[in-house]
Amino acid sequence: MRVNLTVNGRPQTADDVWEGESLLYVLRERLGLPGSKNACEQGECGSCTVRLDGVPVCACLVAAGQAHEREVLTVEGLADHARQRAADRPATHDTPAPPPDTPEPAPGTDLAAARSWQASPADPANSELAPIQQAFLDAGAVQCGFCTPGLLVAADELLERTSEPSDEDIREALAGNLCRCTGYEAIMDAVRLAAARASQGG
Amino acid sequence: MDFLRPTTWGEALAAKAEHPSAVPIAGGTDVMVEINFDHRRPAHLIDLTRVADLYTWEVGDERVRLGAAVPYTRIMTHLRAELPGLALAAHTVGSPQIRNRGSVGGNLGAASPAGDCHPALLAAGAEVEAESVRGTRLIPIDDFFTGVKRSALEPDELIRAVRITRATGPQQFAKVGTRNAMVIAVCAFGLALHPEQRRVGTGIGSAAPTPVRARTAEEFLAAALADADLWASGEPLPQGLVREFAELAAGACNPIDDVRGTAAYRRHAVAVLARRTLGWAWESYRDQIGSTEGGAPRCA
Amino acid sequence: MGATRIPASLTQASQARGGVGESTPRPDGTLKVTGDFAYASDLWHEDMLWGHTLRSPHAYAEIRSVDLSQALRVPGVYAVLTHADLPAATHYGLEIADQPVLARDVVRCHGEPVAVVAADHPETARRAAARIVVDYRELTPITDEASALAPDAPVLHPGRTDAHAAHVPHPNVVHRQPITRGDVAAARVRADIVVSGDYEIGMQDQAFLGPESGLAVPAADGGVDLYVATQWLHSDLRQLAPVLGLPEDKVRMTLSGVGGAFGGREDLSMQAHACLLALHTGKPVKMVYNRFESFFGHVHRHPARLHYEHGASRDGVIQYLTCRIVLDGGAYASASPAVVGNAASLGAGPYAIDNVDIEALALYTNNPPCGAMRGFGAVQACFAYESQMDKLAAALGLHPVELRRRNALSQGAAMPTGQVVDSPAPVAELLRRVRAMPMPPERQWVTADEAGETIDVRALPGGRAGTTHGEGVVRGVGYAVGVKNVGFSEGFDDYSTARVRLQVVAGEPVAAVHTAMAEVGQGGVTVHAQIARTELGVAEVTIHPADTRIGSAGSTSASRQTYVTGGAIRHACELVRERVFDLGRARFGSHHPAWATAELLLEGGKVVTDGGEALADLADVLGDEVIDVEREWRHRPTEALDPHTGQGFGHVQYSFAAHRAVVEVDTELGLVKVVELACAQDVGKALNPLSVTGQIQGGSTQGLGLALLEEIVVADGKVRNPSFTDYLIPTIVDTPSIPVDVLELADPHAPYGLRGVGEAPTLSATPAIVAAIRAATGLPLRRVPVRPEHLTGT
């Protein structure tokens, strides 16, 4: 079947989708957006967390057909989303349509890109990142990084609705996102840091 | 596999009538796991997420008619006053992501003995609004669960809504899991005080082949409260009474040993939960009728 | 609830130059937060196929026949391979090649691979695999020591020729290591107090989040390129090439992004299968395990049964120890011999005990294969000896920390192997530090104001599930300390290879570092760049992707990479530096006498004297020259342990950590909330303090998981909970605050004085938590994970 959806503000079409496929598979294998991770495929780890019409969900539990004509935000669109939010505009409306000749993205990561994964040195003043992404880097909240995309989407959504979350609030909001490397302390620090920077107008 | 996308309730019912083996999917929190892990390959999936009616609720004088697909997050946020037991239960489901998608209708459709909503529905009193092209029928929640993951739904029926009795007294829900989030209940207990009816409702999860009420415990407690006129006086409950209620609740269990827990533990834990939830509910009730000073601690 | 705050440790953004000792950011960090980092499961290739594995549903069975005909007929299927299709070697293994690539006439464990399929879509591959008909005859599985060593027990691996076969008491014992020292019989007479106990450890899983995955691309030269998530490229290569029947230079491996490892990627998983399918079909083949399959795709932590006996004099000095440690290695050897060596040599813990009699062994059974997991061998022993310490302290009427202090190992003391500890061993100091940390406040779930008390159930055992408002809740505090070896031991040639190239790019000196080190999340790439900056005084460092075009870096395990590959990089940098100075002397020596007379350094992109005088810009010295050095580097050698007495210089370094756990137990329901898990660890030198803290907190949390949650439940050889629904790892609401106190006492034998960090915190977290639960409940608790049943007598 064909699935039309908007991902990170861009209209996308996936063809020949098997009816049992998940939104996660479509994003990763058909639309060239492998940022959302496939760690459990049963809604028990949160690594595939995306926002579906603004709501955080596990993309592995959304049937591809259910995302038809819906809006999806993934980690790849998080920085744009944060910029738009900062500009105090509705995140999902003013997005300009991409030029009609935009090339089809390759599904997945090609090997040339895979070989050069260290290319980008960390830049503390990297304005291309959403505040929550920068905070994860600064706080040491990233180790293997497999949980990171889902955590970022969930944490960003928390801070969007709760500007000064308590520690218990942070823990509750991130209770659906497993991390096996950090012991969560640095993740707590990262969310506290992003919240504090936002409240200080930084 | 065919993916059917009805946009109205009528279309959904027609699809189910045409394909009785079709699997309805809304939040996908059960169905997609089965598909992802190759446990299920239905010929048809009926996507209910475009049927807007299923995402609404109506609060009546005596009942809340809760659309089958209303996500748990909405119940927690919007129906805490009307359905406090269900709201507490909804808050123990999975994770925020799951609560944003999962719904009472899905929980009922799966009919797992471990479904988190079921004890709260049993305790509060509810009817499942099942509909097919043949018509609508109301299935009392007490008759809904017929076996492990089996329900009274006919193959051509879909759950339209659940009609749940509005709380007139305190309700409690507690669930034992070995982890503090994303955990399937080892056992769970729901309790509702119905002061106007001078009745107590209960529900037990994960401790029998189906969710069950502890009827003997309910009847014992109702009789004991009536005998001592405690509904009116709001006196503290005698310890012996609470203990016997707890033991009767444990007696209603018919649990098994599995990887999540032993049968003996489940019986024991249900007794503890029954005792504690009754204590908390009764303290709240005493607060309500103004018979205490200072009051019970509030729960954030 | 209070307002959020900026964590104090994060307010001082480092302006320094990113060398050793600083918390420099990860070079892969930006890609990881934008979703652009390419994990093995993210790879894609034009025309690629999907591989799928058919696995045994039985723990032990004879294969009578396999019928592929129906599977081959499924449209979209390109290949279905079984044992009969293997072109060359049919078995592989880390140390002992006892594991079939695909089962031939017998399956020895639940989940053993029997056939592999390549198809155009994962669903096609799954449907085809479901049509393979395997006729099994089930056999009675060996599941424990009694059934493995019974007189009529089947020998699971007949005709063994491995190095351990000659020393084992039974062919179903993979390896056995005794250690005897002193005179236990005489010491027993002197002991006033004797405590003994039987302890049991459940089977823990690494549960890394990125399941096994890789992409194999057939090459025009008949070889194959494999992009894979692994812990040790060259160990994979050594096992893989013979299976493919190819010379090693035709099997080119590149590390792709690794979603955690923790020991679970030390063995091969899908590597051989994907390459075989790719070579057979002539098409790229991607294999990605799902979570269910991942539980069968890698080895687990050895479950163990341990019997310990300690005798002490009334003054609290331990006179002797005897213990017997039985590890279940499961169906294949994997790392079992090394696990046995660690369990034996570290079995006494960080205590000076003159008289010991230790026996450790690993069994072959039909349970899931077990091998490397963070802290292996030492984790199992630590739970037992620390449980014993608490028991002994209670018997002597001493505080648990005081008993440990009186027996604590220190520099100059001997281990049971006779090895004298020749660098700092601050066991007593670590315990003193965790004990001195402030205690978390009591009853944190209660907030009181004018209107009364408010309870936040999230701060109580059971959390949001609302099982208590404080009823039945009792606090307990427990302590534990542990010792782990760093690096590969017992005479293993443990080396790493580093290539460092220095040249001028766009006017700036740039260093490039190339190793085969597997970055699995630990931050090795960060530290490597820091070392190059420190040693070469440059700002720009490029880290080359890890592959097999350079020599082995050894495994990312045993807490060894910063030590060994870090050491190799430092060594290569030193040689580069000497070449720079030679070049400078040749070019500018006549300009300044200091070139000949002073101690020279590279700092801030310049050649400077030790007096701080700048002699030349590094870019000017280099000009168009490219200095390129590749070297192997070894730590000092270790020795094999004597097979009978266990004596020998077995380990290159020891690492120590101590924990204090504060728990609250709902004593009626048996639910536990860990309130705080404080850790003190000696790291020698923190090359990157933020990374070190992250390792300690992450390791501690895996120890918490073993204490309370994590166990692969096996019944009659079959795994009963292979999913994240029933194998539960700690979530953020199960994990407490983990304050860390890092001690830096340099090891004079190690680069920068560093001490391997990753594993030690995983050891003592578990017994500290269990000790705290014992303190709260008074229960003996001899098994982990502790379940509600154990706390409620149900």
Spell out the per-residue pLDDT of chain B, length 300, in tens.
999 999 999 999 999 999 999 999 999 999 999 999 999 999 999 999 999 999 999 999 999 999 999 999 999 999 999 999 999 999 999 999 999 999 999 999 999 999 999 999 999 999 999 999 999 999 999 999 999 999 999 999 999 999 999 999 999 999 999 999 999 999 999 999 999 999 999 999 999 999 999 999 999 999 999 999 999 999 999 999 999 999 999 999 999 999 999 999 999 999 999 999 999 999 999 999 986 555 567 776
Q: Which two tokens stand for residue C36?
A: 């652009």
For residue A97, is pLDDT > 70? no
C702 and C684 in one domain? yes
Q: Does residue A161 lie within any of the structural domains?
A: no
Q: Does residue C371 lie within any of the structural domains?
A: yes
Q: Where is the domain boundary, C346, C380, C414?
A: C380
Q: Does residue B25 lie within any of the structural domains?
A: yes
* Cβ atoms of residues C243 and C271 within 8 Å: no
pLDDT at position A120? 37
pLDDT at position C10? 37
C734 and C654 in one domain? yes
Structurally, chain C folds into a number of domains equal to 4
Q: Does residue A14 lie within any of the structural domains?
A: yes
Residues of C in contact with A45 (CB under 8 A): 209, 724
pLDDT at position C387? 98
Give the structural domain span for B20.
1-48
pLDDT at position A111? 56
Interface test with C, best of A44, A185, A191, A197 (most C CBs within 10 A): A185
The reply to whether B39 touches chain C by the CB within 8 Å rule is no
Residue pairs between chains A and B whose CB atoms are closer than 8 Å: 89
Q: Which positions 457-476 of C are in contact with B (Cβ < 8 Å)?
A: 457-458, 462-469, 471-472
Structurally, chain B folds into a number of domains equal to 2
Residues of B in contact with A58 (CB under 8 A): 29, 97-98, 101
Q: Which two tokens stand for residue C461?
A: 């055992």
Residue pairs between chains A and C whose CB atoms are closer than 8 Å: 268
CA C671 to chain B, closest CA, distance in angstroms equals 7
The reply to whether B47 touches chain A by the CB within 8 Å rule is yes
Q: Which residue has the tokens 């479904």?
A: B115
Of C51, A57, A44, the C-alpha closest to A27 is A57
Interface test with B, best of A5, A45, A66 (most B CBs within 10 A): A66
pLDDT at position A103? 43
pLDDT beneath 70: ranges in chain C:
1-16
Instruction: Return d(Cα B127, Cα B142) in angstroms, integer.
Output: 8
Q: Does residue B157 lie within any of the structural domains?
A: no
Q: Which of B181, B261, B294 sits opposite C788 (nearest CB)?
A: B261
Give the type of residue at C668. E
Residues of A in contact with B100 (CB under 8 A): 55-57
DSSP H helices, C537-593, are 561-588
* Cβ atoms of residues A154 and A174 within 8 Å: yes
Task: List the CATH number of the domain containing C376.
Answer: 3.30.365.10
Residues of B in contact with A172 (CB under 8 A): 96, 181
Q: Does residue C401 lie within any of the structural domains?
A: no
C594 and C500 in one domain? yes
Residues of C in contact with A192 (CB under 8 A): 4-7
Q: Subunits touching C (CB < 8 Å, at least 3 pairs)?
A: A, B
The reply to whether C444 touches chain B by the CB within 8 Å rule is no
Task: List the CATH number of the domain containing B26.
Answer: 3.30.43.10
Q: Does residue B230 lie within any of the structural domains?
A: yes
CA A202 to chain C, closest CA, distance in angstroms equals 12
The predicted-structure confidence for B163-177, as pLDDT tens digits, reads as follows 999 999 999 999 999
Q: Which of B36, B101, B182 sits opposite A175 (nearest CB)?
A: B182
Residues of C in contact with B183 (CB under 8 A): 465, 728
Give the structural domain span for C186.
145-205+302-380
Task: List the CATH number of the domain containing B254.
Answer: 3.30.390.50
Contact C669 B272 (CB under 8 A): yes
Q: Does residue C6 lie within any of the structural domains?
A: no
Residues of C in contact with A145 (CB under 8 A): 28-29, 32-33, 37, 257, 259, 521
Count CA atoms within 13 Å of residue C498 on its CB side: 31
CA B243 to chain C, closest CA, distance in angstroms equals 14
C174 contact partners, CB below 8 Å, separation of at least 6 = C96, C164, C168, C329, C333, C336, C337, C340, C361, C362, C363, C364
Q: Which two tokens stand for residue B209?
A: 């082949």
pLDDT at position C512? 97
Give A118's pLDDT tier (boundaries 50, 70, 90): very low
The predicted-structure confidence for B56-80, as pLDDT tens digits, reads as follows 999 999 999 999 999 999 999 999 9
Q: Does residue C11 lie within any of the structural domains?
A: no
Q: Which two tokens stand for residue C530?
A: 């820091």
C744 contact partners, CB below 8 Å, separation of at least 6 = C682, C683, C684, C685, C686, C753
Q: Does residue B6 lie within any of the structural domains?
A: yes
C122 and C225 in one domain? yes
- Integer angstrom CA distances of residue C235 from C208, C364, C727, C789: 20, 23, 29, 43
Q: Does residue B299 lie within any of the structural domains?
A: no
pLDDT at position C13? 28
Quick one: angle between helices A148-161 and A185-199, nearest 10?
40
Q: Does residue A184 lie within any of the structural domains?
A: no
Q: Does residue B121 lie within any of the structural domains?
A: no
Q: Which of C291, C456, C731 sits opposite A39 (nearest CB)?
A: C291
Q: Which residue has the tokens 């080359």?
A: C544
Structurally, chain A folds into a number of domains equal to 1
- The per-residue DSSP string of C151-210 comes to TTPPPSS-S--STTGGG-SSTTEEEEEEEEES-HHHHHHH-SEEEEEEEEE-B-----SS
The predicted-structure confidence for C435-446, as pLDDT tens digits, reads as follows 999 999 999 999
Helix (H, G, I), strand (E, B) or coil at B29: coil
C188 and C58 in one domain? no
Q: Which of A35, A136, A196 sits opposite C36 (nearest CB)?
A: A35
Task: List the CATH number of the domain containing C223.
Answer: 3.90.1170.50
Give the structural domain span for A68.
3-74
Task: List the CATH number of the domain containing A56.
Answer: 3.10.20.30
pLDDT at position B18? 98
Interface test with A, best of B39, B95, B107 (most A CBs within 10 A): B95
Q: Does residue B28 lie within any of the structural domains?
A: yes
Q: Which two tokens stand for residue C694?
A: 């992250």
Beta pairing class for C508-514 and C540-543:
parallel
